């Protein structure tokens, strides 16, 4: 599996450590094979302090609720209702939750699914981290991750390009991980390596 990154940087020890890995955009669910790749998503240094999404119980969650001492890891995923690649990623990330917590990060996965769909998935699969509903794609839009190749009004309208974003407790983007092609997601070891670099 090949990962394509737009940027990878490690700031010197005299400044806060930041490993920024930004990959090319993925295809829309039904896009042509020759769809042009593009850069999407936020840039390192952007701030999203007003992050708000719904928990599986329908309660509003803010960044303060979702952050550990080091910050929050926000996994933007397409759907845990119909997307097999997203479901596999969600299961794989179960192994990341505890190591991330030890490093000071809280793990959160957000989709455009409604809270009930996420609650059912979490219960059926014993998900040990937070699942978040962005049913109206407000956060997906705010982070510039919306897949605009999807036809308006279709079943897939509002999904994000998959990404994993590391936010400081204040909402600053410290790093972003993305893969080339929506079928591929950053491996757990890359997620943990990035978290460790940022928390050190």
Summarised one tens digit per residue, pLDDT across range 165-179 is: 999 999 999 999 998
Give the model's confidence band at 105: pLDDT under 50 very low, under 70 low, under 90 confident, else very high.
Answer: very high
Residue 163 inside a domain? The answer is yes
**Global pTM?**
0.82
What are the tens digits of pLDDT across the range 87-96? Answer: 999 999 999 9
What is the mean pLDDT of the segment spanning 3-18? 29
What is the per-residue pLDDT for 38? Answer: 59
Which DSSP helix (H) or strand (E) runs through 124? Answer: helix 115-125
Q: Answer yes or no: is 80 within a domain.
A: yes
Quote the mean pLDDT of the chain.
Answer: 84
CATH of the domain at 65: 3.40.30.10
Q: How many residues does the chain have?
A: 200
Count structural domains, the chain: 1
Q: What pLDDT, on the 0 to 100 scale, is given for residue 131?
A: 98
Residue 151 belongs to some domain of the structure: yes
* Average pLDDT score over residue span 167-193: 95
Q: Residue 73: helix, strand or coil by DSSP?
A: strand
Q: Is residue 69 part of a domain?
A: yes
pLDDT (tens digit per residue) in 119-138: 999 999 999 999 999 999 99
Listed residue (83, 89, 94, 88) closest to 158, CA to CA: 83
In terms of average pLDDT, the best of 14-28, 35-49, 160-174 is: 160-174
Beta bridge partners of 167: 72, 173
% of the chain beyond a pLDDT of 70: 80
Does residue 67 belong to any structural domain of this protein?
A: yes
Residue 18 lies in a domain: yes
- Residue 34 forms part of a structural domain: no
The β-bridge partners of 177 are 164
In a domain, 200, yes or no: no
Contacts of 21 (CB under 8 A, 6+ apart): 5, 7, 8, 175, 176, 177, 178, 186, 190, 194
Range of the domain at 99: 5-29+40-195
């Amino acid at each position: 599996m090949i990962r394509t990154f737009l940027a990878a940087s490690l700031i010197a020890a005299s400044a806060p450590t930041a490993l920024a890995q930004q990959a090319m955009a993925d295809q829309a669910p039904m896009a042509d094979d020759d769809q042009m790749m593009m850069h999407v998503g936020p840039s390192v240094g952007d701030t999203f302090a007003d992050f708000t999404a719904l928990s599986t119980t329908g309660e509003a969650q803010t960044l303060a609720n979702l952050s550990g001492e080091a910050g929050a890891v926000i996994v933007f995923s397409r759907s845990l209702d119909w997307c097999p690649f997203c479901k596999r990623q969600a299961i794989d990330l179960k192994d990341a939750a505890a190591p991330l917590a030890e490093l000071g990060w809280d793990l959160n996965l957000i989709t455009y699914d409604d809270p009930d769909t996420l609650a059912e998935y979490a219960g059926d699969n014993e998900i040990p981290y937070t699942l978040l509903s962005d049913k109206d794609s407000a956060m997906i839009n705010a982070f510039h991750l919306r897949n605009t190749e999807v036809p308006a009004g279709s079943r897939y309208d509002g999904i994000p390009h998959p990404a994993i974003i590391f936010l400081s407790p204040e909402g600053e983007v410290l790093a972003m991980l993305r893969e080339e092609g929506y079928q591929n997601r950053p491996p757990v070891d890359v997620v943990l390596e990035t978290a460790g670099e940022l928390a050190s």
